[in-house]
Amino acid sequence: MIQRISKTIRTKYTGVFFMSLFATIAETVLQLIIPLLMSNIIDLGIVSGNRQMIFQQGALMIALALLSLGLGLASARFSAVLGNGVGTELRDAQFRHIQHFSFAQIDRFSTGSLITRMTSDVTAVQQAITMGMRMLVRTPIMIIVAMFLAFSISRELSAVFFYSIPILFAIIGVLLVLVAPRFTRLQKQIDKLNTAIQENLSGIRVVKSFVRADYESEKFDERNQKLWEVTEKASAIMVIAMPLVQMVIFGSTIAILWLGGHAVYRGALPIGKLATFLSYVNQILFSVIMMSVMLIVVSRSAASGKRIAEVLREEEEFDEVQMHGDEVISDGSLSFEEVSFRYHKDGHRNILEDISFRIHSGGTLGIIGRTGSGKSTLVQLIPRLYEVDTGTIRVGGKDIHSVSPVALRDAVSMVLQKNTLFSGTIRENLQWGNEKADDATLMRAAEMAGAAEFIRRFSEGLDTMLEQDGRNLSGGQRQRLTITRALLTEPKILILDDSTSAVDMATERNIQEALETSLPGMTKIIIAQRISSVQNADKILVIEEGKIACEGTHEELIKTCDIYESIYRSQTWEEGANVS
């Protein structure tokens, strides 16, 4: 991936790079020539009283200054185009690359960290390129050539550089060694802060419902304080370093003025040459300051670049399978054969352990169990949102690893616990399932999911605008729309992960009957907390601590499975109590 993005950047921005390079070098050369003209004006014009020389050299000096200004503006413009272009490519490359990450890869980075890498990290690299394209080209040329020209004017005065320049570079070197690791910690702390902000904003309704604003504020303040502490430590080092650099520069200037004044007094050095020498001194020392600033910027961008590279180097798990996989899934039969899984490879225990079962095409599988037992994890393995550690999963009789992810996910549609709807119309949200679906097709699917009734009640029907996450709908309405969207993909297997928990039992029963009647060939997997949601399934799995504790029909489990019977009796008692 990194090679691909590098090639893209080279192809698109090589011309801009060389134009910026040429403009920067030309600008620097002109700025080095201008002090020589100033020397001629003083020594050959003012001192000698030669007006023609003053006007001639002055006009040339103004012309070169204007040309240098134009080249400087061009250099800045090309550098900005290059920096912005590279930033755009890096953001785009990361975003596209992340779309092919598995859930495990996203979990490993964390959403907050990925957001930071695509925003502030890219901005740091972008700024380094924009500034560095000018400073890292201009500064070495300016220092080397200006020192050579200064040395040609006066060897005695140039001796000052042999003391001051090494001291300056030593200060800069120590600064980099101390500051660079802190920039890495700084970006990690920004990750944590972004994660806290994202979690709070995405769950703001829950925060307000449980009156947890103070707790969330304390958590934010804690992370914000840690970010301040890391930033403060990095800033403190830079604050100490810059006065030291300035002290060396001012000391060098005073030494040169002292020695140069004596040289002029003795007649060993023309005053124009001293003025030119001082001009080169200013250019050299200013370049050293700029280099120190640039090295700090580059140091921070290097930390950011490393983090961006981590994302781009992350292998897309499905590349080879997409190229060589079997694209045909004939039916919705499903089997698990001794499947085990853990979220982290170095974890101490499996989340799922030795799971084996079969369900025929068109059948209904119910899955029930306590919270945290592994129910949702189990079904997320089917479309390869996570990869199994051991064992085999077959869909349509084929190992899911022999099928491309695109074909697999076309055949397996999943409605997750968290209902995700996007800002836009109901039609736009439903057409995620089938872009070409007309209104009649959309409403047929909505009828099966029990959503048609409330869609018709809206004055704008399918054109009703939804807020982000469908916040202007009830929980039950959101669930029914996400089921509708899943049905529009015409899957071989439909997975409902606690997807009817917000609707009443009568509506849930109507949805299940509609699916059974209208789509008899589609395999249904229903995860639920309520036994009433799964009791008509052909097979029910009772999951306990990542293992299949019991397996059978509702009637069989009532007689043979203590866990199932206990859940059934408690829910029956609760329903009776609610009725009374």
Condensed to tens digits (0 to 9), the pLDDT of residues 29-61 reads 998 898 888 888 887 777 777 788 888 888 998
Q: What is the pLDDT of residue 325?
A: 54
Q: What is the pLDDT of residue 45?
A: 77
Q: What is the pLDDT of residue 86?
A: 92
Look up residue 110 and give its two tokens: 């964390």
pLDDT at 382 over 90: yes
List the chain domain ranges. 2-313, 334-364+371-520
Q: Per-residue pLDDT averaged across 487-501, rounded?
A: 90
Residues 126, 86 contacting (CB under 8 angstroms): yes
Report angle CA 310, 86, 287 to the nearest 5 degrees: 100
pLDDT at 323 over 50: no
Q: Which residues pair with 256 in a beta bridge?
A: none
Q: What is the pLDDT of residue 49?
A: 76
Cα 118 vs. chain centroid, distance in angstroms? 4
Condensed to tens digits (0 to 9), the pLDDT of residues 399-449 reads 998 888 888 888 999 988 777 888 899 999 999 999 999 999 999 999 999
Q: How far apart are CA 331 and CA 301, in angstroms?
A: 51
Q: What is the pLDDT of residue 81?
A: 92
Q: What is the pLDDT of residue 166?
A: 84
Residues 312, 125 contacting (CB under 8 angstroms): no
Considering just the CA atoms, what is the radius of gyration of the chain in Å?
35
User: Residues 6 or more apart from 546 whose CB is under 8 A from it?
Assistant: 350, 351, 352, 353, 373, 374
pLDDT at 498 over 70: yes
Q: How many of the other CB atoms lie within 10 Å of CB of 75? A: 24
Handedness of CA 13, 15, 16, 21 (dihedral sign): positive
User: Residues 6 or more apart from 281 whose CB is under 8 A from it?
Assistant: 150, 252, 253, 256
Supply the CATH classification number for the domain 334-364+371-520: 3.40.50.300
Q: How far apart are CA 318 and CA 401, in angstroms?
A: 9
Look up residue 561 and give its two tokens: 């499975």
Residue type, 91: R
Across 198-212, 332-346, 459-473, least confident range: 198-212
- Look at the block and give the residue holding tokens 């580059």: 298
Q: How far apart are CA 331 and CA 341, in angstroms?
A: 25
Q: What is the pLDDT of residue 189?
A: 86
- Look at the block and give the residue holding tokens 């890219």: 122
Phi, psi (5° rounding) for residue 26? Answer: -65, -45
Q: Helix, strand or coil for residue 496?
A: strand
Q: How many of the other CB atoms lie within 10 Å of CB of 73? A: 12
Q: How many of the other CB atoms lie within 10 Å of CB of 43? A: 19
Condensed to tens digits (0 to 9), the pLDDT of residues 129-159 reads 998 888 888 888 988 888 888 888 888 888 8
Residues 9, 89 contacting (CB under 8 angstroms): yes
Q: How far apart are CA 143 and CA 39, in angstroms?
A: 19
Look up residue 148 and give its two tokens: 């050579």
Q: What is the pLDDT of residue 186?
A: 82
Condensed to tens digits (0 to 9), the pLDDT of residues 463-472 reads 999 987 788 8
Q: Return the closest-CA partner of residue 39 out of 68, 48, 144.
A: 48
Q: How far apart are CA 305 and CA 86, in angstroms?
A: 12
Residues 455, 473 contacting (CB under 8 angstroms): no
Instruction: Write the CA distances from 36 to 28, 43, 55, 431, integer angstroms.
Output: 14, 11, 15, 71
pLDDT at 99 over 90: no
Report angle CA 210, 215, 220 to the nearest 5 degrees: 130
pLDDT at 3 over 80: no
Condensed to tens digits (0 to 9), the pLDDT of residues 248-258 reads 888 888 888 88
Q: What is the pLDDT of residue 580?
A: 41
Listing DSSP states for 34-63 in one string gives HHHHHHHIIIIIITTT-HHHHHHHHHHHHH
Across 97-101, 436-440, 501-505, 567-571, least confident range: 501-505
Q: Label residues 201-229 b or e (16+ Cβ within 10 Å = b).
A: eeeeeebeeeeeeeebeeeeeebbeebee
Element (DSSP H or E) covering residue 444: helix 439-449
Q: What is the pLDDT of residue 579?
A: 44
Phi, psi (5° rounding) for residue 352? Answer: -120, 140
Residue 492 pLDDT level (bands cut at 50, 70, 90): very high
* CATH architecture entry for 2-313: Up-down Bundle (1.20)
Q: Per-residue pLDDT averaged across 360-380, rounded?
A: 92
Q: How far apart are CA 305 and CA 298, in angstroms?
A: 10
pLDDT at 502 over 80: no
Look up residue 131 and give its two tokens: 């500034």
Average pLDDT, the chain: 86
Residues 301, 184 contacting (CB under 8 angstroms): no
In a 13 Å sphere around the CA of 172, the CA atoms on its Cβ side amount to: 22
Q: What is the pLDDT of residue 393?
A: 95
Across 182-186, 370-374, 392-396, 456-460, least confident range: 182-186
Phi, psi (5° rounding) for residue 338? Answer: 50, 50
